[in-house]
């Protein structure tokens, strides 16, 4: 079970002294995630910069779980909270955008996708308009191979800087990222710190128009002002998740305060008082209905993490890290 974060910090004694980032015991995860649900992180660490993160990873013994989250727009944190350390990168230290060449930008992984789209517009670099509509950050985009409007992150990534669990630095090429649809095969404990992206020379007005079209489309078809995690399931081969959910009669379906959005039925929403358990139960219920109706096994796109309940054995949890 999750212990008191202060006790975990105390247990590490002076290993954490000298770190420049912010350490918060028992940090509320429901304030961070878009769903606004979930138990606390035992300890949240927000490193000051890449060196500070590397020092932290070297200092924390490997048997203590460490996981990274971004802006929380693709996360369902369970009600029992997250044992060990949760890392969250802040704009200060990981939010820089730098123009590297006529068509290349380097961005820290705490940069919101929208800011990268805006920087590309200012630099006259085309190909980043799709980020204008994705509410996450660059770290999450790299991990999820986030995409929209027919473009995916993998089409723009040149290389990625990442730290492994020991704090060692790796420079990963596009091929190293092992990308597939909403998937990256880099080990889960690797933390991306910045990435180099490449677009194409573009005209300001055309880029602006493409960004406006992205925004307009979203406003009309997605419940973007709700507490949601975006698409709940990946699109299955040859179909769309929403079509299968609709055919299975699950549009608008509810469990407690969780609902499959009547507007876009692959978006799950917290209507106000949903728990993590309500949301996950709804998702699993929908998967079962779709399987029964069309024989399709939907795969979660949303990452679920943490303990199902207070008191759950941490060893059981370790097998379920996202
Ligand atoms: C309204 C709405 C619309 C959406 N529309 C789209 C869409 O069109 N297309 C799309 O692809 N997604 C969409 N999403 C989902 C989500 O925005 C993306 O998956 C986004 O890329 C997640 O980024 P994040 O920073 O919020 O990551 P989080 O949700 O915080 O984390 C997601 C995953 O990334 C990992 N991660 C985060 N940062 C790092 C890092 N620095 N290093 C290594 N791993 C990291 C986490 O461990 C986790 O596994 C939507 C979500 C919402 C709420």
Ligand 1 contact, 108 CB (< 6 A): no
**Would you call 58 a catalytic residue per the annotation?**
no
Enter the tokens of residue 8.
């975990």
What's the mean per-residue pLDDT of the chain?
94
Enter the tokens of residue 314.
């941490």
Q: How far apart are the first and last CA of the chain?
A: 18
Side-chain-facing half-sphere of 218: CA atoms under 13 Å: 21
Give me the residue label for tokens 């002294």.
17
Rounded Cα distance, 128 and 283, in Å:
31
pLDDT surpassing 90 at residue 186: yes
| Residue 194, burial from CB neighbour count under 10 angstroms (0-12, 13-18, 19+) | buried
Residue in 160, 120, 155, 156 with CA at minimum distance from that of residue 139: 160
Nearest-CA residue for atom 27 of ligand 1: 140
The pLDDT assigned to 314 comes to 54
Give the model confidence (pLDDT) of 279-310 as tens digits: 999 999 999 999 999 999 999 999 999 998 76
Query: How far away, in angstroms, is 11 Cα from ligand 1 center?
Result: 32
The pLDDT assigned to 321 comes to 42
Q: Tell me the best of 50, 56, 87, 143 to mutate to test the pocket of ligand 1, counting ligand atoms within 8 Å of each CB and taking the most.
A: 143
Ligand 1 contact, 135 CB (< 6 A): yes
Enter the tokens of residue 160.
């990625």
Per DSSP, the three-state class of 172 is: strand
Contact 219, 139 (CB under 8 A): no
What would be the CATH architecture of the domain defined by 5-92? 2-Layer Sandwich (3.30)
* Position in ligand 1 atom list of the atom nearest CA 141: 21
The pLDDT assigned to 265 comes to 97
pLDDT surpassing 60 at residue 159: yes
Across 221-243, average pLDDT: 94
CA-to-CA dists, residue 281 to 47, 76, 176, 253, 306, angstroms? 34, 12, 35, 11, 15
**Would you call 182 a catalytic residue per the annotation?**
yes
The pLDDT assigned to 1 comes to 62
Q: Which numeric CATH code is attached to 225-321? A: 3.90.78.10
Residue in 224, 205, 206, 107 with CA at minimum distance from that of residue 158: 107
**Would you call 301 a catalytic residue per the annotation?**
yes
Across 116-122, average pLDDT: 98
pLDDT surpassing 60 at residue 316: no
Contact 134, 125 (CB under 8 A): no
The topology (CATH level 3) of 95-206 is 3.30.465
Instruction: Locate the domains of the chain by residue range.
Output: 5-92, 95-206, 225-321
Q: How is 291-307 classified by DSSP, letter by letter?
A: HHHHS----B-SEEES-
pLDDT surpassing 60 at residue 143: yes
Contact 80, 308 (CB under 8 A): yes
* Position in ligand 1 atom list of the atom nearest CA 72: 30
* Position in ligand 1 atom list of the atom nearest CA 222: 1
Residue in 113, 69, 120 with CA at minimum distance from that of residue 90: 69
Give the model confidence (pLDDT) of 43-61 as tens digits: 999 999 999 999 999 999 9
pTM of the complete model = 0.95
Ligand 1 contact, 144 CB (< 6 A): yes
The pLDDT assigned to 13 comes to 87
């Amino acid at each position: 079970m999750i212990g008191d974060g202060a006790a975990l910090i105390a247990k590490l004694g002076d290993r954490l002294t000298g770190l420049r980032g912010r350490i918060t015991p028992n940090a509320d995860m429901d304030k961070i995630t878009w769903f606004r649900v979930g138990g606390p992180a035992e300890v949240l660490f927000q490193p000051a910069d890449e060196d500070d993160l590397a020092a932290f990873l070297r200092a924390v013994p490997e048997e203590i779980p460490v996981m990274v989250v971004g802006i929380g727009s693709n996360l369902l944190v369970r009600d029992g909270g997250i044992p060990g350390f949760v890392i969250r990168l802040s704009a200060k230290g990981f939010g820089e955008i730098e123009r590297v060449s006529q068509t290349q930008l380097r961005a820290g992984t705490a940069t919101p996708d929208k800011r990268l789209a805006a920087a590309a517009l200012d630099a006259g670099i085309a190909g980043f308009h799709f980020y204008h509509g994705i509410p996450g950050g660059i770290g999450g985009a790299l991990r999820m191979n986030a995409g929209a409007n027919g473009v995916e992150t993998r089409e723009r990534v040149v290389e990625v800087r990442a730290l492994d669990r020991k704090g060692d630095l790796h420079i990963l090429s596009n091929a190293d990222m092992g990308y597939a649809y909403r998937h990256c095969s880099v080990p889960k404990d690797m933390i991306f710190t910045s990435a180099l992206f490449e677009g194409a020379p573009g005209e300001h007005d055309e880029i602006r128009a493409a960004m406006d079209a992205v925004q307009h489309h979203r406003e009309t078809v997605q419940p973007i002002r709700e507490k949601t995690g975006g698409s709940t399931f990946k699109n299955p081969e040859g179909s769309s998740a929403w079509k299968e959910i609709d055919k299975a009669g699950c549009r608008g379906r509810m469990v407690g305060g969780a609902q499959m959005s009547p507007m876009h039925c692959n978006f799950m929403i917290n209507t106000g008082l949903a728990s993590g358990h309500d949301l996950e139960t709804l998702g699993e219920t929908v998967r079962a209905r779709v399987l029964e109706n069309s024989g399709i096994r939907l795969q979660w796109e949303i990452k679920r993490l943490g303990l199902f309940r207070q008191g759950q054995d941490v060893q059981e949890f370790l097998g379920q890290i996202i």
